[in-house]
């Protein structure tokens, strides 16, 4: 994996690890909550035959920096913008899964001239009503998720992830290894809290921006 350092404001100095492969129009793959760049392994190989494919570990995930920050959509939009600049990418097509889909939509709304195409995969899209499970909401309560994670071990995380992702060995290995690290767990719980609205619906930053674009100043 390669690494770039982001520049400017809240994201200044953050290290972002990413996979890059192929030649052609730029396509950036944005993983979901708890994912990482290698989640797109097979997709990268397929798209790289005709595109310049970039798949970052978003800040707070994988091998990228895990700052003490609010992990809301504003933060991720700034991080994505900084990543594109650092990687020398101008026009881009975005593919987003889950949380990555929300980031892709929010980025498209705030930087429409930069985005050629937008593809969403099981995306948590701003403006669509979505109510997380009771377990998600419980884990998002400050202190509860952190307390529960003290009982976690790598085999336990691996078993839990297997219920979500099946027998995808490289994804299970990456997720269980990531969540075994204390700093990564802290970031993960922050992401659970910051990427949802107080009323339990999912992310709303993109929706607010979309409303402003639709209604005008």
CB 25 within 8 A of CB 115: no
- Supply the DSSP symbol for 37: G
CA geometry: angle 42, 54, 180, nearest 5 deg: 70
**What is the gyration radius of the CA atoms in the chain, in angstroms?**
17
Domains of the chain, each with CATH number or no CATH: 2-215 (3.40.50.1820)
| Average pLDDT per consecutive 10 residues, the chain (217 residues; last block may be shorter) | 84 92 97 85 94 94 85 90 95 93 92 95 69 58 59 57 50 51 57 51 44 38
Q: What is the pLDDT of residues 101-123, one digit of tens each?
A: 989 999 999 999 999 999 998 88
**CA-closest candidate to residue 59, choices 48, 73, 45, 47:** 73
Model-level pTM greater than 0.85? Answer: no
pLDDT digits over 123-150, tens only? 877 555 556 565 555 555 666 555 555 5
Rounded Cα gap, residues 206 and 108, in angstroms: 9
* Residue 57: predicted pLDDT: 94
Contact predicate 82/62, CB 8 Å: no
Q: Is 107 helix (H, G, I), strand (E, B) or coil?
A: helix
């Amino acid at each position: 994996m390669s690494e770039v350092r982001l520049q400017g404001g809240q994201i200044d100095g953050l290290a972002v690890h990413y996979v890059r492969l192929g030649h052609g129009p730029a396509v950036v793959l944005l993983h979901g909550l708890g994912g990482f760049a290698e989640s797109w392994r097979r997709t990268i190989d397929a798209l790289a035959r005709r595109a310049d494919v970039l798949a970052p570990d978003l800040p707070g995930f994988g091998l990228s920096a895990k700052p003490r920050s609010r992990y809301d959509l504003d933060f991720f939009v700034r991080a994505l913008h900084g990543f594109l600049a650092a990687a020398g990418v101008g026009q881009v097509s975005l593919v987003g899964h889950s949380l990555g889909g929300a980031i892709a939509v929010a980025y498209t709304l705030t930087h429409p001239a930069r985005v050629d195409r937008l593809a969403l995969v099981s995306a948590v899209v701003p403006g669509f009503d979505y109510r997380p499970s009771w377990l998600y909401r419980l884990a998002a309560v400050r202190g509860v998720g952190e307390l529960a994670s003290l009982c976690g071990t790598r085999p336990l995380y691996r078993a839990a992830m297997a219920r979500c992702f099946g027998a995808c060995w490289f994804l299970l290995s990456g997720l269980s290894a990531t969540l075994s690290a204390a700093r990564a767990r802290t970031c993960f719980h922050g992401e659970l809290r910051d990427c949802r609205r107080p009323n339990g619906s999912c992310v709303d930053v993109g929706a607010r921006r979309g409303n402003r674009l639709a209604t005008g100043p």
